[in-house]
Amino acid sequence: MCKQFIFHLIMGFVCTLCVVIVLIVYLNAEKVDRPNIVFIIADDLGWNDVSFHGLDQIPTPNIDLLAYSGVALDRYYTHCICTPSRSALLTGKYAHTIGMQGYPLVNSEDRGIPKTEKIMPQYFKDLGYATHLVGKWHVGISRTEFLPTLRGFDSHFGHRGGYIDYYEYTLEEDLDSSKVSGMCLYRNLTPAWDVEGYITDVYTETAKAIIESHDETKPLYLMVAHNAPHSGNDGALMQAPPEDVRSMRHVELPGRRIYAAMVKKLDESVGDILEALLLKGILEKTIIIFVTDNGGMTSSSSYGSNFPLRGMKMSPFEGGVRGVGLLWAPGLLPDYLWKGYIHVADWLPTLLSAVGAKLPEGIDGLDLWNHIKLNKTSPRNNIFEIDDYTGYASIISGDFKLVTGNVTIKYSHHKGRDLVGVIGTEHSYEDNIRKSKMYSVLEKIGRPFNITNISLKTNSKINCKGKDNEDNDLCYPHNDKLCLFNIKEDPCEKIDLAEVYPDLVIKLEKDLKMEMTRLIPRYPIPVFRDTRSAPRLFNYTWAPFADSL
């Protein structure tokens, strides 16, 4: 009897203590006023597809103004393919350390970022953020447990695979030696059959609605992963509304002209999102990132350009990995180009640091927040690109880059020189800037833009040192031949220095081999394209076919 009474008394005391502790923790958590994060990703946007990189053929006034009033990242490095790049973004780890490297995930493949990995939205959700994904996923769709709403996102509206038709929202791929196609646009776990419109507009409207209805008692983490300017399907024609194509009629080649219209819609989306943040009254408490997932694709059906950089998406040359990147936050230096190395895996610790959170251990990403904010030298000195599927690997170390293995030759030249043609004259750069939404947004927040302050536009132009018209005698690695470039002196990777610095080649090859010991092979090797995923088995949708396997 007495014992029981004492037991209840103690338990009562313990419970009260628990409640008090929970309340203290909760109240303290409430006190931290963390900034919002809006992370915008373009799909396959090339180095030469934004006007702040020097070329006015495709006007991107909203993106440019974001760069001029934020920080442009001169040496932003990605993985050269979207699944690896997005995996590194989400985990803060090199894709090859989690088996997500190489050829992009196809919808019929049973693979995803391993469930043992904690990913970016989970970190932000733990900090009390409202977490939303609008647009592309592409890091695992075969099982429900791989999907965004089971991995830290409160909501997902968008496409799950690598791309989507801009109007029909289907994805086509090879399966069982024929082509199949299925609907791939989802609202959380349900196919979004009711949607109509051009997908870039649909995503912009969805992002705006999330911002408008956001409950400000929580900070916001919003990722907007556009389909643009990726093609709507593998090898499909470029797609944009006719009136936008017409407004780009100064672009000489018809394919590039439609591509320019796709980029125009992407640029307008950035202006619309910024305006929505302003109208909500939260812009000045928001950190904005705008990046591409990897280099542009130049082919007979895709008209991206990384010119004058060498190579494109799917290659370890600069055109594949040195991408468009910028960061915007209140209180940064104006007209500012940060020259340090930053890799896509660095965003996770950098953003966690920016919001004052504890950094995870055991990742490859580095916290660069203060280095970028205060224009300090980057602590990042190495960048790896390793693909055991195609069979190439490269290492950047200081000013040098060593490329080894089996690169795909057709992705490794200088391309895009023939895409720059202009009929008559392009639009006035200054007019485009003045007419953009971002221009008035900057006025309204008391940071009016002065068109004379765009030294960034000149400074971020790549100088091939008069050699940009030569494409012979390029070094391609094969068998025992390794290629060494000084990517600071020779950003266009024209001059092989392997014979000039044999000791450096040996050292870098050793570093690369050491990194390769961390590689987890890209899996699953036995079944790459699984016929059990066929959309006709799921009412013509791409569904999580492997749930019951």
Ligand X SMILES: *[C@@H]1O[C@H](CO)[C@@H](O)[C@H](O)[C@H]1NC(C)=O
Supply the angle between the helices 347-354 and 82-91 in degrees, to the nearest 10.
40
Q: Pick the binder of ligand X from 22, 333, 506, 514 (CB under 6 A).
A: 333
Which one-letter amino acid corresponds to residue 528? Answer: F
* Complex with ligand X: residue 161 or 182, whichever CB lies closer: 182
Contacts of 493 (CB under 8 A, 6+ apart): 309, 310, 311, 317, 318, 401, 474, 475, 483, 485, 487
* Complex with ligand X: residue 252 or 509, whichever CB lies closer: 509
* Closest CB 429 distance from ligand X, rounded Å: 16
Site membership for ligand X, residue 425 (CB under 6 A): no
Residues 393-422 that bind ligand X (CB under 6 A): 406
Q: Considering only the stretches 85-93, 96-104, 222-230, 448-456, report the one whose residues sit in contact with ligand X under the rule CB under 6 A.
A: 448-456
Distance (Å) of CA 129 to CA 59, 282, 374, 475 = 34, 14, 26, 48
Query: What is the rounded CA–CA span in Å between residue 540 and residue 537?
Result: 7
Site membership for ligand X, residue 19 (CB under 6 A): no
* Closest CB 93 distance from ligand X, rounded Å: 25
Q: Which tokens belong to 260?
A: 């320019």
Site membership for ligand X, residue 189 (CB under 6 A): no
Q: Which of 53, 138, 156, 226 is catalytic?
A: 138
* Closest CB 139 distance from ligand X, rounded Å: 24
| Cβ neighbourhood burial of 485 (10 Å; 0-12, 13-18, 19+) | buried
Q: Pick the binder of ligand X from 7, 193, 389, 523 (CB under 6 A).
A: 193
Site membership for ligand X, residue 122 (CB under 6 A): no
Measured over the CA atoms of residue 497, residue 500, residue 502 and residue 504, the dihedral's sign is negative
Using CB under 6 A, count the residues that bind ligand X.
12
* Closest CB 460 distance from ligand X, rounded Å: 13
Let me know: does 147 contact 113? Beta carbons within 8 Å: no
Contacts of 33 (CB under 8 A, 6+ apart): 219, 285
Site membership for ligand X, residue 149 (CB under 6 A): no
* Complex with ligand X: residue 301 or 453, whichever CB lies closer: 453
Q: Pick the binder of ligand X from 334, 379, 421, 521 (CB under 6 A).
A: 334
Q: Considering only the stretches 261-269, 277-285, 363-371, 449-457, report the one whose residues sit in contact with ligand X under the rule CB under 6 A.
A: 449-457
Site membership for ligand X, residue 389 (CB under 6 A): no
**In degrees rounded to 5, what are phi and psi of residue 121?**
-65, -30
Residue 82 is a catalytic residue: yes
Q: Pick the binder of ligand X from 155, 181, 375, 440 (CB under 6 A).
A: 375
* Complex with ligand X: residue 326 or 419, whichever CB lies closer: 326
How big is the chain, counted in residues?
549
Supply the angle between the helices 254-280 and 437-444 in degrees, to the nearest 10.
20
Q: Which tokens belong to 470?
A: 């030569």
**In degrees rounded to 5, what are phi and psi of residue 455?**
-60, -25
* Complex with ligand X: residue 44 or 335, whichever CB lies closer: 335
Supply the angle between the helices 254-280 and 199-212 in degrees, to the nearest 10.
10
Which one-letter amino acid corresponds to residue 145? Answer: E
Site membership for ligand X, residue 521 (CB under 6 A): no
Site membership for ligand X, residue 330 (CB under 6 A): no
* Complex with ligand X: residue 202 or 223, whichever CB lies closer: 202
264 three-state secondary structure: helix
Q: Pick the binder of ligand X from 428, 453, 463, 531 (CB under 6 A).
A: 453
Residue 478 is a catalytic residue: no
Q: Which residues bind ligand X (CB under 6 A)?
A: 193, 333-336, 375, 391, 406, 450, 452-453, 539
Annotated active-site positions, please?
A: 82, 138
